[in-house]
Amino acid sequence: MLKTIYSYNVNGLRAAMNKDFDGWLKEAQPDVLCLQEIKVQVEQVDTSVFDRLGYRQYWYPAQKPGYSGVALFCKDKPDKVVYGMGIDKYDDEGRLIRADFGDVTVLSVYFPSGTTGDARQTFKMAFLNDFLQWVENLRKERPNLIISGDYNIAHQDMDINFPRKHDKMSGFLPEERAWLDKYLAHGYVDTFRMFNREPNRYSWWSYRQNARAKDLGWRIDYHIATDVLVPRIKGASILQNVVHSDHCPVTVTIEY
């Protein structure tokens, strides 16, 4: 059976819902929807909208109001749901939620941004190193992983507009890209690049300078899978025409 997983940084779920997010979801009908940067507490959302669409909902907001947070919606009931990494400084920001479906585990992860200054860039690099150690430990228990979310890193020159203009900016720093190289070298696969090697396929555009209309974007949203899942991955795409956010959804289809 094929299942489709979407990942979408909505940059504020209430704002996205004001742009007919639920109408889009009714049409799209992914089996699993990983959300990042929900910026909302559960009680601030009319969750019955998603109940009517047939989704079980698992929310992990940040402690700070209006900031960060992840969620995972799914058609099938997970065998297990785990909130956070067990590291307070990341869990307080609602960075990760895990759901197990049979032998497959799906993670919705919102990687930190370092764009606001040196302190947050240091926090981001610490998160990257701690996350890799954490996910490698999880992989011993759950080898079939789909790690979905906003990684806040464009990996290669083809993943960003005018790369030499950005190589001193958080999100395209050499050390961040080197971390992604190391991560993939541990036996993980960028599922989109299994099917599409074209440049200029972006998932995020700045709200500044009319960047989306000019297609001056970055590809920073991914479904990364453990390599043992490769035979079961049947497709991946970027839905650039879906507009509720400065990001767009990315998809992967796998055989459960």
Amino acid at 44: Q
Helix (H) or strand (E) holding 191: helix 191-195
User: Above 90 in pLDDT, residue 8?
Assistant: yes
Q: What are the structural domains, with CATH classification, of the chain?
A: 2-255 (3.60.10.10)
CA torsion through residues 150, 154, 156, 157, sign: positive
pLDDT at 159: 98
**Mean per-residue pLDDT over the chain, rounded:** 97
Catalytic residue numbers read: 150
Q: Which of 171, 109, 112, 113 is nearest to 135 (CA)?
A: 109
Predicted structure pTM score: 0.97
CA 252 – CA 230 distance, rounded (Å): 11
Helix (H) or strand (E) holding 49: helix 48-52
pLDDT tens column, 117-160: 999 999 999 999 999 999 999 999 999 999 999 999 999 999 99
Which two tokens mark 41?
């507490």
pLDDT tens column, 46-85: 999 999 999 999 999 999 999 999 999 999 999 999 999 9
Q: Is 49 exposed, middle or buried (0-12, 13-18, 19+ CB in 10 A)?
A: middle
